[in-house]
Amino acid sequence: MIAEFAAAKVNLSLHVTGQRPDGYHLLDSLVVFADVGDRVSVAPAPKLGLTLAGPAAEGLRTEADNLVLRAARAFGVNAGAAITLEKHLPVASGIGGGSADAAAALRALARFWDLPLPDAAAVLRLGADVPVCLQGRPVRMQGVGEIITPLPALPEGWLLLVNPGVGVSTPAVFRALPRKDNPPMSAALPPFADLAALAEWLAAQRNDLEPPAMALQPVIAQVKAALQAQPGCRIARMSGSGATCFGLFAAKAEAEQAAAALRQANPGWWVQAGAMLS
């Protein structure tokens, strides 16, 4: 059996800088990953099949349009594999769960079938976040997700991810965005000597999808405020199109203490702390 980890994707910043004639939005985002996520495993089987497991599997189906099965078909081969997706990340929550699963399936199946990964165009067709999730390390993501610039290792830090258990429609959030031609990040990102420098720089950046998402689901603002109020939280922001928010911490103990406090105060929220991968 071959297994791959599907790490949660976190947009530390997300600037919407334009919209193409075909409707796709242009982005400029600093993307990192947390050691919180799902697990995709592959074992021999005569046919291609998918089994769902894990605490968050209830929101998914094993139908043909499942993103993991679409990733398997992207190889263009008639080969069998028994794929198991152990789902821990909330579905449709702004932290790239489905895209991370697809990327993990691509990596696992490439090893299992001893094949190269599908070409870049095929990977992008699976979803705008799949190419960046294949990287699994800090990157600057631009265009519709196809322009990926690896970054030097960022300072060590911890991410506290919190989802209030509400769904947010990504198309609805983009429709509610008041303007699509917002300023990008600076042409060159500065070096970050420590986490304080990263947090200070992030404070001058944005997630342009945060205001419209909060208008659609006001509880997101409550999540962000609850994170920001935790001792040691350097910055709190929504990731992706929501509803998951993150808090950035310098120390593991601070992140875990904040996680315990938020779980106790809000037992219906999904709360997970993890190291920021570099």
Catalytic residue numbers?
9, 129
CA dihedral 162, 167, 171, 176 (to 10 degrees): -80
Q: Tokens representing 81?
A: 């594999």
- Using alpha carbons only, what angle is made at residue 125 by residues 102 and 272, rounded to the nearest 5 degrees? 35
Q: Are the beta carbons of 140 and 107 closer than 8 angstroms?
A: no
Cβ of 119: how many Cβ atoms within 10 Å? 10
Find where tokens 């875990």 sit: 256
Quick one: tokens of 140?
């600057």
Structural contact between residues 206 and 15, judged by C-beta atoms closer than 8 angstroms: yes
Q: What is the distance between the terminal CA atoms of the chain, rounded to a whole angstrom?
A: 27
Collapse the DSSP code of 225 into the 3-class scheme (helix H, G, I; strand E, B; otherwise coil) and give the result.
helix
Q: Are strands 270-277 and 233-238 parallel, antiparallel or unpaired?
A: unpaired
Peptide bond into 105 cis (omega under 30): no
